[in-house]
Amino acid sequence: MPSLDLDKLSDFVEEWWDKSALPSLCEFVEIPALSPSFDSDWEANGYLDAAVNTFVAWTRSLPLKGLSVSVHRLKNRSPLLLVKIDGDEEGEVLFYSHLDKQPEASGWSEGKGPWKPVIEDGWLFGRGSVDDGYGGYAGILSVLALQDQGISHPTCRFLIETGEESGSPDLSYYLDELESVLGIPDLVIVLDTGGIDYDRLWVTESLRGIVAGTLSVKVSSVGVHSGHGSGVMPSSFRLARQLLSRIEDENTGEIKPEWLHIEITDKMREQATKIIEMNSESTDDFPLLDGVQKQVNDPLDIFLTMNLSPSLSIIGADGIPSIQDAGNVLRTNTDLKISIRTPPGISAEKVAVKVQELLEKDPPNGAHVSAKMTEVADGFLSPELPEKLSDMLTKSGKKFYGNEPMSLFIGGTIPVMAMLQSRYPDSKFIITGAGGPGGNAHGPDEKLHIPTAKKVTKCMAATVSAAVR
């Protein structure tokens, strides 16, 4: 059995990205394949289907062995593409990416636009280039590169959806529909993130989850003149503030319930310290007004707080008139949209139940209180990779980037990650990608750093070769 030649692998990926993947990706950029949330007529417009068909045509043009392609269309749900490449070794690898896009946005540079692919100085400009059109191309080419050298590889499946930018509302239905086909992957590779520079492969270690909903505090049936009722009738705002203090210390911002925290391990601290040393701006990018102080000040504490700790934010309110419209009337109710970021590894469903119980029990002054959590998504905590996978990831990262891969912690939430991990709790995960500074995903001048896309492809090829059982 031949051993993997990393130099030959590099040459192959460079050639096929330039002559095959990049031209097709440019065709994809031209398609205004808005995610269903941004195009109510997506089915009639047919752009999502066009994006899928473009990728399918490219895939079928490749000299892949053991290839099968199927497009799935559940009623009233955005299409999903499933590509399978049979392996000659035991093992199952599942790649995930998506083909739907964010809206156009304004402010593109002169000569550029969302549906106009432009290659300039190593970048491909256009909507969907880095988020996440390139992902499927990188994954497919990583397997083709192994076949080019006759390297054994496990069976690889590519799950490519068209609703990720809408929160993946249809994906769970497809996962149910295709459960017997997908099986249980040993390794899940998601090519939809990136890092804080382009000098190394960044592997996402964790994501925070989210529990959000409405806290409603009602005290009266009609408004009462403040000259008559104030000081006697309880203020719904004061009572809401009291209830929030059950979750958050109003003086420090510290989250009180122990069940909203995880242990910050020494390994997490060490990894966070390395990231801070490499990029000190990652803990200082806050547009505070002059004189406004942060809740935490030490760079390490800032990093851990924004990525691994729980937080509470009030992001909306009802029942409170604008200042211009406010009269001297005691309001009947205060409704607040609360958003709680949960640490990775904590069940958001359990947190939602506990938050509701905590806020609704023993209401102050007998107020009518409800706390309905309507947005609930787990975070993500990557399980440790087997030694042979970790070693190959390190080896290929050093070879193609010149530096070892590094872990990345992200304070936001990617619902699809929680969905996949809940489906495959025993699988290993590699979450990485070509995103990085200047990529402008979702914004004007979105662009893919082509050299990084190639390096990601090379690293994934090497890693898949080590994913056999």
| Domain limits, the chain | 6-207+379-465, 209-273+296-377
Smallest Cα–Cα separation from 201: which of 25, 447, 459, 439? 459
pLDDT score of 66? 98
Under 8 Å between Cβ of 74 and 86 = no
For residue 116, list its beta bridge partners: 113
Strands across the sheet containing 118-120: 118-120, 123-125, 447-449
Report the C-alpha gap between 218 and 229 in whole angstroms: 15
Residue 132: asked if its preceding bond is cis (omega within 30°), the reply is yes
Question: Going by C-beta distance under 8 Å and a sequence separation of 6 or more, which residues neighbour residue 60?
Answer: 67, 69
Report the C-alpha gap between 306 and 167 in whole angstroms: 22
pLDDT score of 327? 94
> Domain 6-207+379-465 adopts which CATH fold?
Aminopeptidase (3.40.630)
CA atoms within 13 A on the CB side of 148: 21
Phi, psi of 358 (to 5 degrees): -65, -40
Report the C-alpha gap between 456 and 85 in whole angstroms: 19
Residue with tokens 């993946």: 168
Q: For each of the chain's 469 residues, which pLDDT tens digit applies?
A: 689 999 999 999 999 999 999 999 999 999 999 999 999 999 999 999 999 999 999 999 999 999 999 999 999 999 999 999 999 999 999 999 999 999 999 999 999 999 999 999 999 999 999 999 999 999 999 999 999 999 999 999 999 999 999 999 999 999 999 999 999 999 999 999 999 999 999 999 999 999 999 999 999 999 999 999 999 999 999 999 999 999 999 999 999 999 999 999 999 999 999 999 988 777 788 999 999 999 999 999 999 999 999 999 999 999 999 999 999 999 999 999 999 999 999 999 999 999 999 999 999 999 999 999 999 999 999 999 999 999 999 999 999 999 999 999 999 988 899 899 999 999 999 999 999 999 999 999 999 999 999 999 999 999 999 999 8
For residue 431, list its beta bridge partners: 190
pLDDT score of 284? 80
Show the CA angle centred on residue 58, arms to residues 46 and 43, nearest 5°. 10
Show the CA angle centred on residue 443, arms to residues 165 and 102, nearest 5°. 25
Report the C-alpha gap between 20 and 57 in whole angstroms: 11
Report the C-alpha gap between 142 and 434 in whole angstroms: 14
pLDDT score of 256? 98
Phi, psi of 338 (to 5 degrees): -105, 145
Q: Kindly report the pTM of this predicted structure.
A: 0.91
Q: Which amino acid is at 193?
A: T
Report the C-alpha gap between 114 and 203 in whole angstroms: 28
Q: State the CB neighbour count (10 A cutoff) for residue 24.
A: 18
CATH number at 209-273+296-377: 3.30.70.360
Under 8 Å between Cβ of 331 and 320 = yes
Q: Is 213 exposed, middle or buried (0-12, 13-18, 19+ CB in 10 A)?
A: buried
